[in-house]
Structure 1
């Protein structure tokens, strides 16, 4: 009994230590956004002596942060919706229909995991130029959607294959067609996998710096990672404004992670067939 209690206590100790180590950078970022530059340089690891919320007001005056935030939200949300819809339907087809070309089609999606998208930056730039999508948010949306579909199809196909076929058979006996089986029966059961897909692709689209730097030149269309670069001066940098911008940009990711992780943790398939 004592050994079980001691082992459980050690598990809690390690869990709390892991939580503290994980949360410390976030706490440091938030506290630095409430400091002045002098406090950041003199006491970088301490809590602020007094809270200065003027930093956030100065941030909105120094850069068009609202435009950066809206652009990042439009690109990330649209990309995630397109990825979730297209990859879930493709994964349902690959997992539940067996034709001669199904294996090759699945291999085609898996190949997307092996080839880095950045290797084709020159052809992509020329393609976007011919399509007239340079300095357009649609260039980023299309690239993020295309690059996010392979990993999403890979995850969702494996999850679809774990679902019992008896659920579909029962639905077809009740008169459901293929789309109704997908939409009403199987889609609610893959919400844990969809949560994983949403988290992966939203964080990638929200934090990406490379493609917005290449395809977006207008200041009003820049996303947060590229737009925040204007805060880095040639001779000096206002670190309090930078940390304030990082804090505001991290809030949507934290919210999405909390919502999607809850879906990920739910065992919706448990007890589906009784």
Structure 2
């Protein structure tokens, strides 16, 4: 088992190490010896990617789109999960099934009507348009995760709040939301990757290079006949680094949240 796990880890880490090492090498050196070590390590590729490649602007766009997508998706998912987890009403089971179906049906299947809708409403070539798509794609997962936490909470907590005179909105915001914070963190971490790495919808919906997110921006590093591999690898490292840092710090919170849910 340990041998299999070690081999699996090496297969996952190996390509990342190759990208990092080659980001410190010039293009010709990579072309002649793709798997070699840098003879004279330099950060010139990073400087060129940040300056001439304008990757700083692409990075900022990705941060804005991803943060907006998570905030919008969680703001909508939290009250829905509260209703599904705490209330009994007609059509509750059907609504839950619809959210499960939302996880099974790829949102890219609706790209054609979505494009026409965005064209009619003026959302083409806007960041808010991407935020709405990513938020909608993240909602099924977020709702199901947070709903499971709400169902695990003791009903006596909410009953005591109602006895003390709290309304439904106060109960949701002051009692329910703080208690499901681990679930919110888990949902955010699970959805930040798809929003950050999405290439399909930014490529279709965006027109202005100044609004490109980092996956689309890096694709501009490919020339018509040649590719500066050192510049490309440096751009990939810059694109992956924020996610890697976030996951390194957030995984403990995610594991703690899942463990807390199991303990309940």
Q: Same fold (TM over 0.5)?
A: yes
Determine the C-alpha separation between the residues in 1 that align with 2:127 and 2:103: 24
Q: Which residue of 2 is the match for residue 64 of structure 1? A: 54
Determine the C-alpha separation between the residues in 2 that align with 1:91 and 1:57: 45
Q: How far did 1:271 drift?
A: 7.4
**Which of residues 81, 85, 99 is equivalent to 1:109?**
99
Q: Which residue of 2 is the match for residue 136 of structure 1? A: 126
Q: Which residue of 2 is the match for residue 29 of structure 1? A: 19
Does 1:235 find its partner at 2:231?
A: no
- Residues 42-81 of structure 1, C-alpha deviations (whole Å, 9 max, x = no match): 3323332221101111112332212211111111110011
**Which of residues 250, 255, 258 is equivalent to 1:265?**
255
Q: 1:173 to 1:244 in 2, by over 3 A?
A: same
Q: Which residue of 2 is the match for residue 7 of structure 1? A: none
Describe how 1:111-260 pairs up with structure 2 within 5 A.
111-260=101-250
Q: 1:135 to 1:70 in 2, by over 3 A?
A: same
Q: 1:116 to 1:51 in 2, by over 3 A?
A: same
TM-score (norm 2): 0.89
Q: How far did 1:269 drift?
A: 5.5
Does 1:85 find its partner at 2:75?
A: yes
Q: What runs of 5+ residues in structure 1 fail to find an aligned partner? A: 1-9
Determine the C-alpha separation between the residues in 1 that align with 2:14 and 2:260: 33
Q: Describe the SS at the equivalent of 1:62.
A: coil
Please say if residues 189 and 254 of structure 2, whose CA atoms lie closer than 8 Å, have aligned partners that are also in contact. Answer: no
Q: How far did 1:130 drift?
A: 0.8
Q: Describe the SS at the equivalent of 1:199.
A: helix
Q: How far did 1:232 drift?
A: 0.7
Determine the C-alpha separation between the residues in 2 that align with 1:145 and 1:271: 29
TM-score (norm 1): 0.86
Does 1:46 find its partner at 2:48?
A: no
Determine the C-alpha separation between the residues in 2 that align with 1:22 and 1:61: 30
Q: Describe the SS at the equivalent of 1:111.
A: helix
Determine the C-alpha separation between the residues in 2 that align with 1:115 and 1:263: 29
Please say if residues 152 and 261 of structure 2, whose CA atoms lie closer than 8 Å, have aligned partners that are also in contact. Answer: no
Does 1:97 find its partner at 2:87?
A: yes
Aligned length: 262
